[in-house]
Amino acid sequence: MAKDKKISPFSAFLLGVDGMVGSAIFLLPGSLYSKAGNSLIGILLVSGVSALLLALCYAALSSETKQNGAAWLYAYKEFGRFAGFEVGFFTWFQGVITITTEIAAFLTSLKLFIPQLSDKLVYDISGIAIVLIIAIIGLMGDRVSSIADNIATFLKIGVLLIFVLAGIWFIHRINFVSNAHYSFHSVNNAFSNAFYMFTGFAFLPVAAAQMRNPRKNLPRELLAVIISVTLLYIATVVVAIGTVGPSIAHSNLPLAIAFAKHFGNLGKVIITVGTVGSVLGVAISLSYSTPYVASSLANEHQLLPQFFGKKSKSGAPYVAIIITAGLCALLILSGGYLFLVPCTIIISLVQYFSTSLVMLVKQWRRQRHHEKLPQGAFNLRGGILVPVLSLMVCVYILVNLQLKVILFGMIALICGVALYFMDKLITKKLK
């Protein structure tokens, strides 16, 4: 992109929608409905509001810098290198685990046509093979990644609109009637997992430097994106429940099953092909961008060990690609889609928490010392209210995750801290 070429507000809106809509809306509604029933509709609304609170912190901080807004940058400037290193590490690792989650979603979607994938060995071998293939694609450059991303965007938005617009005519009130009772803990767990549908909101502030007048337009774009995606999710879930009722709880592919009820095998094929294509496209796109995040953090910002930044003659960060692919392969072996989703959430909470904390410190300092905002920066009204609520959202999501997921997050944190001190020791010896 040329330096003088800026993203228009509409393009930024599409970029934000593309970043948020992923595999979750295609695969998660059944699992979430089994935990919360019709309350899932309200949970999606609350999740959207929660994402907006966090997004406002990103928007306010990104408007204060001329660089691309990123959680590690805010943490580095406010709390120093250790915080920047850890948040940078988790930003990269979030990309790694998201690739794995999307591959798991791809394999789960294919089970409708390839039942053999239900066998753990076949599933694992297939998953590792896909990791290797997309790693090779990542070495080919951004052209393949860009094409895959464009195809994925067309498929996922197109399929969701077809599902909603065609399925709305088959909604029956009786399908919203259920005698099932759900515990408070179960509903809370559903909220924590549902938040995976909204984790892509952080992508838009990262691209702030490419937007036209980001200090003015970014908050509006975030609001428009989150409201639009929330309404699309709610419409999709209402149609899914309204067409098949409580039986949605027993399906790993609820949208495909719901569409098949009224449109037969053709309906199942349409939704599944759309799901498979969009999910694989997202995985390919991320497999290209994620190693470059690690390489950039290592070479340009010294916030990851230097070996992450090594590149081939063609400029591909081959070490970061190999490490990313290796971790993806290990994560494929660790569990299926429904395990990887909350693992992605707990990893993403690190940058959400740090960004909210940075915003809290800045707002507190401005109130106490009457510091002025940089010229043209977005004024986040309400003082410390928004960052405090954002931190509360992070804590609430965390405490409602399963223990094994929290342990996964703790292990990742320990690895991140160990990597920091190992890098510091090596750097000191080389001087």
Contact 183, 189 (CB under 8 A): no
Q: pLDDT confidence of 347, banded at 50, 70, 90?
A: very high
pLDDT, average across residues 211-237? 84
CATH code of the domain made up of 9-430:
1.20.1740.10
Residue 116 pLDDT > 90, yes or no? yes
pLDDT, average across residues 15-19? 79
Instruction: Give the pLDDT score at 135.
Output: 87
The length of the chain in residues reads 431
Instruction: Please give the distance of CA 19 from its chain centroid, rounded to a whole number.
Output: 8
In this structure, of 100-109, 344-353, 377-386, the range with the lowest mean pLDDT score is 377-386
Domain range summary for the chain, segments of one domain joined by +: 9-430
pLDDT, average across residues 223-230? 90
In this structure, of 152-161, 247-256, 279-288, 412-421, the range with the lowest mean pLDDT score is 279-288
Answer with the residue of higher pLDDT: 290 or 398: 398
CB-count exposure of residue 271 (10 Å: 0-12, 13-18, 19+): buried
CA distance 207 to 336: 31
Query: Beta partners for 211?
Result: 7
Instruction: Give the pLDDT score at 65.
Output: 72
pLDDT, average across residues 298-323? 84
pLDDT digits (tens, 9 = 90+) for 35-59: 999 999 999 999 999 999 998 888 8
pLDDT, average across residues 132-138? 85
b/e map 384-404, b = 16+ CB within 10 Å: bebbbbbbebbeebbebbeee
Query: How much of the chain exceeds pLDDT 90, in percent?
Result: 47
CA distance 335 to 332: 6
Contact 227, 64 (CB under 8 A): no
Residue 178 pLDDT > 90, yes or no? no
Instruction: Give the pLDDT score at 69.
Output: 54
In this structure, of 119-123, 152-156, 388-392, the range with the lowest mean pLDDT score is 152-156
Most confident of 266-275, 340-349, 365-374: 340-349
Tell me the two tokens of residue 72.
Answer: 């590690």
